[in-house]
Structure 1
Amino acid sequence: MSRLALPYRSPVTSCVRPEPWQLVLDGAVTDLPESLDFWDYRMDIELSRTVHVDLSTARAGAGLSDGSVLSLAAIWTASGSNLRGPVQRVPLSGDGVRTVNLGAVLPGARLGGVLSLETVLVLSRTAGPAAPFAPRRAGSLLWEDTATLRLQGDAPLFPMTVIDFTHTSFRDDAAWHLQLGSDLNGAAMGSMLLIVNEKAEEVSTAFAHAAKPGPVDRVVLSMVYSDCARIMMEHALSKEEFLDGADFAEDSLGATLVNLFHRLFTGRTIQDLRQLRQTSPSLFATELQAATRILKEA
């Protein structure tokens, strides 16, 4: 196992005693699971964690003076959106053991993929003389640990918004519209948007209940997922650069479409599916219907 070699003294890891991350769902608190199978972009993630820090031991181990200020912070990173942000940062001064409660509600629209939660103890400010090779710069890392949560689900994994179609160019009696960018090398998060008509109450309600869908919600979500998959595959197959063996950048629209293709049509080739769409559109539609397992989870 590799270990980060710091160019300055660092305390023993036992100076920080973290408790597990907690996930809050509908008021119930549980330990952070490996994945959330029912997650979608309309579901915010509420997290909390308690960490105990022995400040005296941490400073002594790093060769810092008693007056030095440390900070405990948590940062989140989402692989699906390539975004990151702070959970919370708490300055720590004084002596003895401090108990810190970290917590935040992370907006689902900014997440996706694997959510990484990094907790760190860093130097904020030195005070007085320090031992040789002690850290001196603010932000110097003294301790860290990382937890992950895979966000996945049956709902389409892309940003979405709910608006009144009356004020758009879409037909006001349509239920949803999937917007896709034309550049397959563009970032996926900036190239996809599911727009739901707020007047289509069954659809907006289904997404609001995505964490714990009822029977009707499951039917609606299954239909939306199947239709979005169809639109995405037709969009991909209409692009000349969408070919077998094409190399798109990670987290690009092209990479997302390639991953969706292989998930839906394991063992098939893009050329095979493109030819099927050209020669028999109705059979192509039926193949997509079967691949997305429409209504199978309802």
Structure 2
Amino acid sequence: MDIELSRTVHVDLRSARRGAGLDDDSILTLASIWTASGSNLRGSVQRIRLGGDGVRTAHLHAVLPGSQLGGVLSLETVLVLARKGGPTAPFAPRRAGSLLWNDAAALRLQGDAPLFPMTVIDFAHTSFRENAAWHLQLGSDLNAAAMGSMLLLVNEKAPDVSAAFAHAARPGPVDRVVLAMVYSDCARIMMEHALLKEEFIDGADFADDSLGATLINLFHRLFPGRTVQDLRQLRQNSPSLFATELQAATRILKEA
């Protein structure tokens, strides 16, 4: 889902210049920058040059693509020097871009964790088998941002699956079965992916909102009280029992 941002800022230009030791001909710029912790992406919302005198009202507005967002969305609004006018006080800023004022606001987009990125596409236009229902892509770097390392692809030509995600807010009986199957399969893929990584060990310390932290959190949620080494040995020695343990941990079809 795309996010629409808007902010109205009132700037007293005379007071701002005097407070910074600037003369009345100096040009200021008001700008906003967004940052998404889940994807580690950032961008500019808008830049407005402010000249003249008096109180100026600036309206900042942008629509951010949902595919680039996740985790905590931060919006920083700054007032900077764009161009110095005539003589200024000794302490006054002289370089363009000098910060005069800033303010920050943050919005968590979903619960306590980043959004799980997904998209619905036609597998006929990809390298995946056309009759596959879904595919989970995972990055190899556990220290990378989770939002940029995970992507669930749903085949739009699998009607029961694409319909289940479309009705996820109010799922019917068939939708609940499909969603439970996808959840269990994604958990299996993520755990198998993690256990293949040498750095995925008990006590591993990964940055917040990283792929490694996401996998560690999933492991502790599915297998509380167990160790990574225990689960790794189980997968190596008895893959079928490992699969059964995952079915039980994800409570497959329990809520269907």
CA distance in 2, matches of 1:247, 1:100: 44
Asked if the contact 1:154–1:225 (Cα under 8 Å) also holds between the matched residues in 2, the reply is no
Instruction: State the SS of the aligned residue for 2:106.
Output: strand
TM-score using structure 2 length: 0.84
Alpha-carbon shift at residue 194 of structure 1 (Å)? 1.7
Give 2:185's match in structure 1, choosing from 213, 227, 235: 227
1:50-199 to 2 correspondences below 5 Å = 50-152=8-110, 157-199=115-157
CA distance in 1, matches of 2:112, 2:208: 22
Correspondence for 1:281 = 242
The AA in structure 1 aligned to 2:101 is: W
Instruction: State the SS of the aligned residue for 1:101.
Output: strand
Correspondence for 2:158 = 200
Alpha-carbon shift at residue 204 of structure 1 (Å)? 4.0
Higher mean displacement: 274-283 or 229-238: 274-283
Instruction: State the SS of the aligned residue for 1:112.
Output: coil
Residues 27-49 of structure 1, C-alpha deviations (whole Å, 9 max, x = no match): xxxxxxxxxxxxxxxx1111111
CA distance in 2, matches of 1:125, 1:55: 14
1:199-218 to 2 correspondences below 5 Å = 199-204=157-162, 207=165, 213-216=169-172
Higher mean displacement: 200-209 or 65-74: 200-209
CA distance in 1, matches of 2:148, 2:43: 18
Alpha-carbon shift at residue 77 of structure 1 (Å)? 0.9
TM-score using structure 1 length: 0.73
Report the number of matched residues.
Answer: 251
Asked if the contact 1:223–1:295 (Cα under 8 Å) also holds between the matched residues in 2, the reply is no
Cα 1:119–1:206 change in 2 (3 A) is farther
The AA in structure 1 aligned to 2:170 is: G
Percent of matched pairs sharing the same residue:
75
Cα 1:110–1:207 change in 2 (3 A) is farther
Higher mean displacement: 266-275 or 213-222: 213-222
Asked if the contact 1:75–1:84 (Cα under 8 Å) also holds between the matched residues in 2, the reply is yes
Q: How big is the alpha-carbon RMSD for the aligned residues of Structure 1 and Structure 2?
A: 2.9
Asked if the contact 1:166–1:172 (Cα under 8 Å) also holds between the matched residues in 2, the reply is yes
CA distance in 1, matches of 2:112, 2:91: 52
